[in-house]
């Protein structure tokens, strides 16, 4: 029997690449999608018939329990999030509900279903948890000092994952991701905004390239 993986955020940059990788490894791949995400499935259109999608939302614990019970995954990859830092200041409560409590809901769903020993959980964390950095480069021992609602929601998710691992002996781990790009990167992120603006300027459709903090420094990788 093939291993079964359940991915939240499967329509995003990372989720689509992960789905491809797991399919290549012979996994049965399931994804949780919000109804609103169905208009944005272009990243998985080429594998649409090879994966199984389920309606769901990280803000709905009852739904998560239902989906996990139905799928019976060997592995859960929680990549779903409101991941835009600027938007998190405009929607702090929603960001907390999805990015922070959403992770808790997955962990608790697995516990309630008695699947602690059967499921491995990966939680996508972020370098935004470090926020006001105290050392460069950061390590796993660097203190967290988030400076955005997105950052502190992810800190909550990180500690929830650690707590459930220690309290219930669950295989639950966090991977701290720094900025990473690809052709599938969302158009609201800075690299895509720069490229699109320069393209429009070159065609006379735009005059100004507007950016935020020009002193910000980031480590970039490839998705």
Respond yes or no: is residue 171 known to be catalytic.
Answer: no
Homologous superfamily of the 4-178 domain (CATH): NAD(P)-binding Rossmann-like Domain (3.40.50.720)
pTM higher than 0.75: yes
Q: What are phi and psi of 98, to 5 degrees?
A: -85, -55
- Catalytic-role residue among 27, 77, 122, 150: 150
Among positive and negative, which fits the CA dihedral 217, 131, 81, 166?
positive
And the tokens for 155? 């800190």
- Catalytic-role residue among 8, 11, 126, 161: 126
Helix, strand, coil percentages in the chain from 3-state DSSP, rounded to 5 = 45, 15, 40
Written as tens digits, the pLDDT of the chain (223 aa) is 899 999 999 999 999 999 999 999 999 999 999 877 566 788 999 999 999 999 999 999 999 999 999 999 999 999 999 999 999 999 999 999 999 999 999 999 999 999 999 999 999 999 999 998 888 899 999 999 999 999 999 999 999 999 999 999 999 999 999 987 766 566 666 667 777 777 778 888 888 877 777 776 666 777 6
CA-wise closest residue to 11 among 47, 60, 63: 47
Three-state secondary structure of 52-118: EEEECCCCCHHHHHHHHHHHCCCEEEECCCCCCHHHHHHCHHHHHHHHHHHHHHHHHHHHHCCCCCC
Residues of the chain with CATH 3.40.50.720: 4-178
């Amino acid at each position: 029997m093939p291993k079964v993986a359940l991915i939240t955020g499967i329509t995003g940059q990372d989720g689509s690449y992960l789905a491809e990788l797991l399919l290549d490894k012979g996994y049965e791949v399931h994804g949780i999608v919000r109804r609103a995400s169905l208009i944005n499935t272009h990243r998985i259109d080429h594998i649409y018939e090879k994966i199984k999608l389920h309606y769901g939302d990280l803000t709905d614990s009852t739904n998560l329990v239902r989906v996990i019970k139905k799928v019976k995954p060997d592995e859960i990859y929680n990549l779903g999030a409101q991941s835009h830092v600027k938007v998190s200041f405009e929607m702090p409560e929603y960001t907390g509900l999805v990015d922070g409590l959403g992770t808790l809901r997955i962990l608790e769903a697995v516990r309630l279903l008695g699947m602690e020993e059967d499921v491995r959980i990966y939680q996508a964390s972020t370098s935004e948890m470090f926020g006001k950095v105290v050392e460069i480069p950061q390590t796993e021992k660097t203190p967290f000092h988030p400076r955005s609602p997105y950052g502190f929601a992810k800190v909550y998710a990180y500690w929830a994952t650690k707590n459930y691992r220690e309290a219930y002996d669950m295989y639950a781990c966090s991977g701290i991701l720094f900025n990473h790009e690809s052709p599938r990167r969302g158009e609201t992120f800075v690299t895509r905004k720069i490229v699109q603006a320069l393209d429009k300027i070159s065609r006379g459709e735009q005059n100004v390239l507007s950016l935020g903090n020009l002193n910000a420094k980031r480590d970039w990788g490839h998705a």
